[in-house]
Amino acid sequence: MTDGGDADAGDAADAAAAASYRGEATPEKLLEIARYFLFIGIVGFGGPLVHIAMMEDDLVGEERKGWTDQSTFMEGLAICNTLPGPASTQLGIFMGWIYAGTLGAVVAGVFFMLPTFVIVVFFSWLYFAYQALPAVEAVFYGVNPVVIGLIVGACYSMAHSAFAEGRSDYEFELGSDTWSVDYFLLAVLVVATLVVALLNPNPVVAFVAAGVIAVAVYRSDWVRANARKATLWAIAGVVAGVLFSLRDRFLDLLGPAAREALEASPIWGYALALWANEWVKLFFFMIYTGSFIYGGGLVLIPFIELYVVREFGWLTGREFVDGIAIGQLSPGPVVMTTAFVGYALMLEVSGGILWIAVLGAFVATVGAFGPSFVFIVAFFPFFAQVRENELVQSALVGVNAAVVGAILGATVVLATESFVVEEPGIPLAVGETVVDLFTVALAVVTYWLFVRGVHAASLILGGGLVGIGAFFLL
């Protein structure tokens, strides 16, 4: 009875916490939400920081629209920054939720993403319809290395923030920035970069490992005080990770008879039949991606590079980088690159039928952003409590560093397709590999300009223009 009473009390507390945030929907509120987030979705160029600043300036406080107060807004922002998925989009969903409940969250998210979805689909159509034309090839000859430079530039600021969360083992000035470096986090970043670049593991495994090691380093007193519990959890985690990583070999170890029995089971057959359907695979893969892209939209890079490029073969590495460029040209989150992936896949599956490709982009978008709605509407009070846990906070410090390393590791792989080309360019032989010095130089210049505040869209457009000239002159 006591356990049941405690569970009921906990459920009641969660319901009360949710009710304290959630607003009530009215037609007037929903129309107001739709208008505002459509406006942000159209004019919000500049990335998540611009979106967040606009929402804080326009919606917080009684002198503005008065959707919420400053403390609730800051709590929502802090929690959205700790959740997987695009923080500014989730903050928009949160603002719709606290103002007009679940319907408000849905309306806010849909109208926030609608302009970006339309832009990405339109450019996806242009890209695949005219990809073979020399002029289009020339544009993306310049855009491709620019995107590589942008990703590395974004990792620069992400690493700066990640190191600031740890201990201050060493400080130095780099330009106008003061870096406070934690040697442990630096090691995590370097190891994650090398592991992803060389071994190409599942990014989730790398993030979990980094989080567990961070707890062991930063909360060693807790680990010693709870040695038995920590050891059991560590063993369970290691076993689960090994089984997941070696799942194919594990089935082989069971022997041919056991494998044949498993494959003959109806459940296995239904699972294989579902997974063979490209629509099902696209949707569930995007749900998986949206559930684990912790640390910002660029974290989709190691996920998609591993599965979409290598495992599934839906895109080439060069096409994926071009898709990131298209996502960067829009005012919304770079996660909308998933619409490009869905468009490309279903365009090929359908044999070039446009409306099916657009539907593929829509399915990919729903899958990728669906978890964000669930996190806010269903689990926000839970995450508000979990965020205060010291072990969780310590784990996230390690995960943040691993995230930067995973992005850099995947970018190393993608960069080889941008830098290693035959024609045009300025070739430099490195062993049996021919490196295009022009694309390398363009990526380096892009990185330098981006970390000094030049907007990503301007650099992409400039890279396209430079690429046209270089393509036809070199």
**How many angstroms separate the most distant Cα atoms in the chain?**
81
Where is pLDDT greater, at 248 or 199? 199
Which pLDDT tens digit goes with each residue over 387-446? 778 888 898 899 999 999 999 999 988 888 778 766 555 655 555 567 888 889 999 999
Can you tell me the distance from the alpha carbon of 40 to that of 50, in angstroms, rounded to the nearest whole number? Answer: 10
Domain boundaries, the chain: 2-116, 117-133+149-416
| Percentage of the chain modeled with pLDDT above 90 | 39
Which pLDDT tens digit goes with each residue over 217-275? 999 888 888 877 777 777 776 676 666 666 556 556 655 655 566 556 666 566 666 76
Residue 16's pLDDT is 53
Can you tell me the distance from the alpha carbon of 104 to that of 68, in angstroms, rounded to the nearest whole number? Answer: 14
Q: Among the listed ranges 150-164, 171-185, 241-255, 286-300, which one has the minimum average pLDDT value? A: 241-255
Cβ burial, residue 350 (10 Å; 0-12/13-18/19+): middle
Where is pLDDT greater, at 193 or 333? 193
What are residue 429's DSSP bridge partners?
A: 434
For residue 363, what pLDDT band results from cuts at 50, 70 and 90? very high
Can you tell me the distance from the alpha carbon of 210 to that of 285, in angstroms, rounded to the nearest whole number? Answer: 23
Q: What is the DSSP string of 160-202?
A: HHHHHTS--SEEEEETTEEEEE-HHHHHHHHHHHHHHHHT---
For CA atoms 306, 311, 317, 322, the dihedral sign is negative
Whole-model pTM? 0.84
Q: Compute the half-sphere exposure of residue 148: CA atoms within 13 Å on the CB side of its CA.
A: 26
